[in-house]
Amino acid sequence: MAQAASDEMNVESTVRRVAGFSVSILLVLCVLGSSGCASNRWIGREGFIAPDGIYVVHVPGIMGTLGHDQAFGIWLILSGAQDVTMFDWTGPIPLTNLTDTQRHERMARDLVAELHLLRKEHPSARIVVTSHSGGTRVAIRAAELLAEEAETAVEAAPPLVEQMWVIAAAVSPKYDLSAALQGVQQMYVIDSEHDWLILGLGTAVFGTADRDHVQSAGMVGFMYEDGSRLHKIHYDPWWRELDNSGGHLSALGRNFVKGVIGPIMLGRQPVWTPDSSADAPGVVDPRHARAETP
């Protein structure tokens, strides 16, 4: 009898712990701006770090803001970003989002307006734009528009966007990035030869966002070369140590963000560099490179 009562109490205690954990997760998602809480902005460390902190605007792919984008925002905040805004540029039909170049243009202009508003609200903030898949076309076009604005500005100033991340770009590898690079201080491009289903077969059949039926730059890399502002980050096999298998969503994962994207965003040494090895000074041995959530 005593044993049965003890077992019942243990079960009840476990249920309470699980329920409490579930409620906590839901609250965190609401605070950080999940779609179910009707918020587009995720307040990260407001009031805890200096006003010149990093403010990120994320441009998702053609499906709009999904769970992996929301999780990406969380990992960026845990990596040191002060605030993450989801700039959802999409309409209800994903394929139309890919092919509608007029929508790309309108949304790129809206993104530029969002960035100017962010600068007005936070004059000393460091602004970073991250983009994924079809959303990279909108981000790149916004950078081109910023460059056009700079040409007509009365006073010369550094580009508004400190960093632009172009992740798994559903854009033609022949796309000329020269104009976009004038609109940002630094551009980081992540591609993977393993992203063959979406950015290989998918864009060969349905086309890239800039309307070319080829394997995308997010799979084979951009042909454009520029040594000053453009940083190409090609898939490395030991990214698997950071839970990045090279798939279409892999670069948005926790350990890759905290091990590579986050440190670069903060101006620190990432656990991986293009010429890294287990013996290279200042580079974490990939066998021990797993980034943990603080």
Evaluate the CA torsion angle 281, 252, 60, 43 in order and state its sign.
negative
Q: Give the pLDDT score at 157.
A: 80
DSSP per-residue letters across 50-96: -TT-EEEEEE--TT-S-HHHHHHHHHHHHHT-SEEEE-----S-HHH
Provide the pairing of β-strand 83-86 with 41-43: antiparallel
Q: Give the pLDDT score at 47.
A: 44
**Helix spans in the chain (H):** 2-32, 67-79, 94-99, 101-121, 135-152, 178-181, 203-206, 217-220, 254-256, 262-266
Q: Give the pLDDT score at 175.
A: 97
Distances in Å between the Cα of 275 and the Cα atoms of 10, 174, 181, 233 are 53, 26, 24, 11
Q: Give the pLDDT score at 234.
A: 94
Closest to 54 (Cα-Cα) out of 42, 66, 64: 42
pLDDT in tens, 91-149: 999 999 999 999 999 999 999 999 999 999 999 999 999 999 999 999 999 999 999 99
Q: Give the pLDDT score at 30.
A: 37
**What residue type is assigned to position 54 of the chain?**
I
Residue whose tokens read 């528009």: 145
Q: How far apart are the first and last CA of the chain?
A: 44
Alpha-carbon distance of 73 to 42, in angstroms, equals 8
**What residue type is assigned to position 131 of the chain?**
S
Question: What are the mean pLDDT values of the chain's consecutive 10-residue runs (294 residues total)?
Answer: 49 38 36 36 46 90 97 96 96 97 98 96 95 98 96 83 98 97 96 97 97 98 89 93 96 96 93 55 36 36
Q: Are the beta carbons of 249 and 197 closer than 8 angstroms? A: no
Q: Give the pLDDT score at 225.
A: 87
